[in-house]
Amino acid sequence: MTNKAIPLPKLSGFTERNGDWFVEEIPLSDLAKQYGTPLYVYSKKALTEAYQAYDKACVDTKGKRRARVHYAMKANSNLAVIDCFKQLGAGFDLVSGGELARALAIGADPKSLVFAGVGKSAAEIAAALKAGVKCINVESIAELRKINRVATELQIRAPISLRVNPDVDAQTHPYISTGLKGNKFGIAYHEVLKTYREASQLPQIDVVGIDCHIGSQITTTAPYLDALDKVLDLVEHLKREGIIIHHLDLGGGLGISYSDETPPDITEFTNTLLNRVAERGFGHLDVVLEPGRSLVGNAGVLLTTVEYLKPGVEKNFCIVDAAMTELMRPALYEAHHGIVPVHKKSAKELTYDIVGPVCESGDWLGRDRSLAVEEGDLLAILSAGAYGFVMASNYNTRPKPAEIMVDGKNAYVIRARENTNDLFASENVLPK
């Protein structure tokens, strides 16, 4: 399969002009020359447009807000990225104490923070309660009891919602499916009511909401509606028992186009969910949406330099200076990313596997791509804004790349490149 056979995604902040790729008003080649490669590059324009599409859809025709957007920081937690969303009015979905610290570092309102995650430690729970977060999403009865113990010790009441596992097939990659009964996430549907009953009796627990998240890179609306109906059935049942739910967290997970996927339009998707909430008689609830990938995925690229072209008996290899250490998704999920020469040239096209220098056979970034490239050329790996840098590693003692954000004609270093000494600065040998 080749680049010709698989279309490139539609991009907002990145364009090809007369054979050269630009991020907003800056040639990508200029950034590579100035900052080196591998290099992550983000478009502020693309981030802004994606957020505004969600936010606009959260307001009805009369100007009434029907939902609020909480960015899922796990997708890309760089301070500049999350600050951009904060300035636009976003709250945040957090899954670790580290993400909580990042949100507080940019001055996010604690009441705009929802703390999620399947394995919260006592220290993380305490930090969230002390910060005064909007809510902690509970993933098990055991966690509920731990939250109550920590809250009792701190003499702080704990606002909680239960994450429901609705046993709905999100029709996505099994590694990023979260709403099936075989997944580790959430409380089994048949256990939810009794867990809410216990929560309502615990002395330091305030039941405030209900939460559901069924997966990531979902490209159809139907699974969301199935899960939503199941969750609203629970809300109705809880009301009959005198347990009142104040907010409804619908999670995130909407996919993007990496190639030929056709996910729902953000506005259409958001309106479909919110209309169903209203039709079921729950328009009064405080509704939270938690998009991640669909806000940042197509707002970033990874630039890499061709080091060697290596012909083989069965495969031709294009060896680049980026690797699975910079972009894990292909190795982990066999994920497809569009890959394009930053400058189009007239060299002969050949079919290559694009691979990195890491000592693993799984270290590949693209397979069977038709490219006209030579050693020293620049390639742009598209749709790398989500689950890119945040999953980077130092395997093979490789420094992590720099990150750049572009705003119009201006480029800003939002994370400096690591150097080799950084990698072992905190290590020590045993005394001689």
Question: Cα separation of 235 and 244, whole Å?
Answer: 8
Structural tokens at position 337: 């990313």
Question: Cα separation of 249 and 288, whole Å?
Answer: 5
> Residue 395: what residue type?
Y
> Residue 308: what residue type?
Y
- As a whole number of Å, the end-to-end CA separation of the chain is 57
Q: Report the greatest alpha carbon distance in the chain.
A: 75
Question: Cα separation of 307 and 320, whole Å?
Answer: 5
3-state helix, strand, coil split of the chain in percent (to 5) is: 30, 25, 40
Structural tokens at position 350: 């050949």
CB 123 within 8 A of CB 149: no
Bridge partner list, 22: 15, 27
- Is position 359 annotated as part of the catalytic site? yes
Would you give the DSSP letter of residue 389?
G
**DSSP codes of every residue in 11-48:** -SSEEEETTEEEETTEEHHHHHHHH-SSEEEEEHHHHH
Is the bond leading into 38 cis (omega within 30 degrees of zero)? yes
Residues with Cβ within 8 Å of residue 11, at least 6 apart in sequence: 46, 298, 382
Bridge partner list, 318: 309, 354
Half-sphere exposure of 309 (CA within 13 A, CB side): 14
Question: Cα separation of 74 and 207, whole Å?
Answer: 25
Residue positions counted in the chain: 432
Q: Which residues belong to the active site? A: 359
